[in-house]
Amino acid sequence: MDKQISIIGAGNIGLSIAKGLIRSGAYKPKEIILSRRNKEYLKKLAKEGFHVTENNANAVIFSKILIVCVGPQQLKSLLKSIEKHLTDNHLIISVVSGISIKEIKKQWVF
């Protein structure tokens, strides 16, 4: 579990990051939790060996490294839904366009 990483928003960018982590040898599919709302898409990803969830809070609870890959319009509601599960031990990496980690920290989470 120490190596577990979660990618919240496993669309094109999130899945590309996950596959890049696997190709680099840094992670195995079973060490990556992918979160997305589309159940059918998650079933496909589970067949590839990833841990999958529709519940973003579970992705946060079971990982210390979070890669946020949602659209900027989704970010505020996402952060509100996970903020009570975040700790000082979490590393948050954002690929959300137009919003810096500094803004995330200042405005929504901490």
User: Could you tell me where the beta strands, DSSP code E, fall in the chain?
Assistant: 5-8, 32-35, 51-53, 65-68, 91-94
Whether 14 and 69 have beta carbons less than 8 Å apart is answered as yes
Question: Would you say residue 38 has pLDDT above 80?
Answer: yes
Q: What are the φ and ψ backbone dihedral angles of 51, each rounded to 5 degrees? A: -80, 135
Binned at pLDDT 50, 70 and 90, residue 47 comes out as very high
Q: What percent of the chain has pLDDT over 70?
A: 94
pTM: 0.89
